[in-house]
Amino acid sequence: MKRILIRDDDVCYFTSPEILNRLYHRLLERSLPVNLSVIPKVSCSTPLPFGTANPYFDGHLQHEPFIPPEFRGLPEFYEVGDNKNLVKYIRGNPLLAVTQHGVTHDQSDLAFLSGEASNSFSEALHQGKAVLKKAFGETPIFFIPPWDRLSLPAMEVLQSEFLGVSTGFTRRRFLPIPDWGRYLLRRLQHRGLLRWKGCLLVTHPFDLSRFRFPNPRELLPHVILALEQWDVLVLTNHYWEYLNDWSGWDEARLTAWDAVVNYLLSREDLKFDTFAGLEIASRSNGAQGKNQ
């Protein structure tokens, strides 16, 4: 039985529950879980990453596209709990599992994750946890690094604050040199789980963003291939990518996502899981308190 985790990043104050419901209602109706990667206190002034290489760069877009156009560049922060409709939707759907996606998803997060300000970031992490607990009633146990950035100094902090971290490919520089051998073996075996100091590291081979797949028809073939190669697969989505910069649905991309959902639902060998469920299963396999 293969495990699959659906993960949607950048959920925040600006997220509409109607958008999430359009993408995931068929999974929820079948009692299948979805993992939401939630920004506790989103910054409106986060610059667009990757510069002109970013597919959203069109000469005027200078800030993250998950920020609605009328808010971009403002020196403001918005707590997710202030979006009452979103909070009601998530609290009313126990199959929606909340994880923590940075704190503000801005340059301060980037400095921490890059190892430049790790020692001073613990307080910010706690503040982010408190925001999410206040909004959703539970303290997050998994952390999702914005932009898939990570470093050894950041990992030292995160492993003491969370039971697990989900990111792109875990690179060996994220770990101490003595652990490089285990990392390389799992990379060769297409195994996406690695436990370090009791913290479960969960990697994924790719996300479904248009940065990687500008042609939405490429999504399904790559998902099929990844499922052939990986026993545990994290499919990373961004709800806002199914919109034309907040002005309506991107119908071609939405159709491609529906095809992916159809395929996943047709597979009888898939277990849809949460990161908490994966962490428990990993420990039950004899990894409790030890490196895997």
Say which residues have a Cβ less than 8 Å from residue 115's Cβ, sequence separation at least 6.
151, 152, 153, 154
pLDDT at 284: 76
| Encoded tokens for 145 | 């690094």
Would residue 143 count as lying in a domain?
yes
Would residue 292 count as lying in a domain?
no
191 beta partners:
none
Average pLDDT, consecutive stretches of 10 residues, N- to C-terminus, the chain (292 residues): 96 98 98 99 86 58 90 97 99 98 92 75 92 98 90 87 84 48 45 78 84 92 93 94 94 98 98 96 61 38
Would residue 214 count as lying in a domain?
yes
Whether the CA torsion 119, 121, 126, 129 is positive or negative: it is negative
Rounded to whole angstroms, how far apart are CA atoms 31 and 195?
29
Domain count, the chain: 1
Q: Which domain holds residue 261?
A: 2-287
CATH of the domain at 27: 3.20.20.370
Would residue 108 count as lying in a domain?
yes
Would residue 54 count as lying in a domain?
yes
Would residue 235 count as lying in a domain?
yes
Would residue 69 count as lying in a domain?
yes
What DSSP string runs through 122-185?
A: HHHHHHHHHHHHHHHSS---EE--GGG---HHHHHHHHHH-SEEEESSPPGGGS-GGGHHHHHH
Would residue 16 count as lying in a domain?
yes
Q: Are 203 and 275 in contact (CB under 8 A)?
A: no
